[in-house]
Structure 1
Amino acid sequence: MEDDGSYRVLAAPEVGGLRLLDRETYEPVVTAESGHDASVDALEPGYLVDVNLDWSTSEPTIQSFSVRRETLYVFADEIDPVFEVAQEAWADAQMAGDSMNSRVTRNTDNEVNGVLYVFGESEMTSMFESFRDGSRPLEPLVDKVNEREGDEERGVFVLRPAIEEFVIVVIALAKGGTYARTIRDTYEL
C-alpha cells in the first residue's frame, strides 16, 4: 500500500531509519533503515517534505519525495551561557505559576527577528527529548509563526541549558539571518 502525505523530518539519533512527523495527525512515522527508492541522505531535521511512502513492509520505505521548505531543526543539550531574554521569560513564567512562556525577539533596530518559548523541564517528562522525537510536535509553534510572518525557511533551535530547569525553543524568522547565525555561533551548532 502506498501513501502520499506532507511530513516534517525529525531528529532521531536512536533509530536507523528516518523519523517523520505526519502533518495531518502529528504522529511520528519511523521508516526502514534501507530500501528507499529515493536518496534520503540529503534530508535534514526540520525539512518539510511531500513523501510517497510504501507500507508493504513492517517499516515503510520512501518511494519518492520533494522538499517544500528547507527549515532546519537544531537540538543542543547543556548549553551555556543562557541568553538573558530566555532567563527573563522563564522567571516571568515561574512568578505567574506557569510552565511555559513566550516572547517575540527583536534585533538592535527593534525589528522582529524571531519568537522564543520556554517550557518547564523535568526528568520524568523531558520536554527536550519529546520535541526531538516528535512526541510533542514543534509543528504548532512553527505554524503559528508562519501564519503571522508567511511561509519561509526558518531556523528552529531547541536548547536545554546545563543548569536551568527549562527548555528554550527559538524560531528564527530567517534560517540564514543574523539571529540564527548568532545562535549557531554561540553554541557551535
Structure 2
Amino acid sequence: MELTTRGRYRVFGHPRDPEELLLVELDGESFDPTYVRIDGYEGSLADEVSALRPGYVVEATLAWDDDGTPAFETVDVEQRSRIEFVDAVTGLFEAANETWNEAVAAGEGMNSRVTRDTDGRPNGALYVFAEQPGARDLFDEFESGVLPLEPLLQRVNDERDDDDPREVFVMRPVDGEFVVVYIVFEKEGLLANTVRETYDCPRR
C-alpha cells in the first residue's frame, strides 16, 4: 500500500537536482526539507506542479514510493510569496552595506534593520549574517533549507499582524563576506520591483 502524507510547505527551488523541487515543511517547528520529483505528472496536476515558484506556500499530499521518493498527489497554493537567491552580487545597495559595517564595528556576526520608503513608512526587514569560510556556507544552507528562512518570515508576519505575500531576496556579495536576507513587505511593490530589476532577478 502506497504511503501518503499531507502537510503545509514552502516551496524553494532546485538546489540539488533540476528534476526535484525542494519543499520545507511548515507544520511544527522543525522545518524539515523534502525533495519531491517534478516529472511524470499528467493533466491538471502537471500544470499545477509546473506553476509552482520558490516562495509559494502550498498544502500538498505526497505519495511515497517504496524507495522513499515522494511525488505530488495533490497540491493547492495558499500564498504566492516569492524567494530569489542571488550569488556573487556586485553593487550591493547602501542599506545592506551599512547594516553589515555596523555588525563588524560591534563585533557581531549578524545585524538587522527595518528599511523605510521616502515617506518614512516601513517597507522591508533587512538581515545580514557573517559567512563562515571553511566552516559553514550560509548562502547554500539558506538555499537548501538546512538553515530555515521561516522564522524570519514569521517574525515579519507577527510584527505586521498579517501574512500578506512577501518578496524575499537572499544575496551574497561577490566578496563572500556575508549573506543578506531582505524581506520586502509588499509583493510586486516599488521596492520589490526595484530590487528585482537591479539584480536581474526574473519575474515569475
- Give TM class, smaller chain: over 0.9
Instruction: Measure, in 1, the Cα distance between the counterparts of 2:163 and 2:195.
Output: 21
What's the CA shift for 1:50? 0.3
Identical columns (%):
40
Matched position secondary structure for 2:37: coil
Aligned partner of 2:138 among 111, 115, 127: 127
The match for 2:123 is 113
Q: 2:23 aligns with which of 13, 20, 23?
A: 20
- Please state how far the C-alpha of 1:90 moved relative to its aligned partner: 0.8
Q: Among 167, 172, 184, which residue is 2:179 paired with?
A: 167
Give the CA deviation at 1:33.
Answer: 4.3
d(CA) in 2 for partners of 1:117, 1:19: 23
Pairs within 5 Å for 1:49-60: 49-57=58-66, 58-60=68-70
Partner in structure 1 of residue 154 of structure 2: 143
How many corresponding residue pairs?
Answer: 189
Unpaired segments of 5 or more residues in structure 2?
none
1:132-162 C-alpha deviation (Å, 9 max, x unpaired): 0100010110111011221011000001111
Distance (Å, rounded) in 1 between the aligned partners of 2:11 and 2:176: 28
How far does residue 82 in structure 1 lie from its aligned partner after superposition? 1.3
Amino acid at match of 2:8: S
Residues 9-31 of structure 1, C-alpha deviations (whole Å, 9 max, x = no match): 01223322111001133110011
Please name the residue that 2:50 is paired with: 41
Post-superposition Cα deviations, 1:121-140, rounded to whole Å, max 9, x if no partner, equal 13331111111010001011
Deviations 1:19-70 (A, max 9, x none): 1001133110011243446221100011000000112332111000110110
CA distance in structure 2 between the aligned counterparts of 1:66 and 1:184, rounded to whole angstroms: 26
Distance 2:69 2:82 in 1: 25
Cα pair 1:9 1:46 within 8 Å, conserved: yes
What is the letter of the counterpart of residue 3 of structure 1?
T
Conserved? CA contact 2:13–2:54, under 8 Å: yes
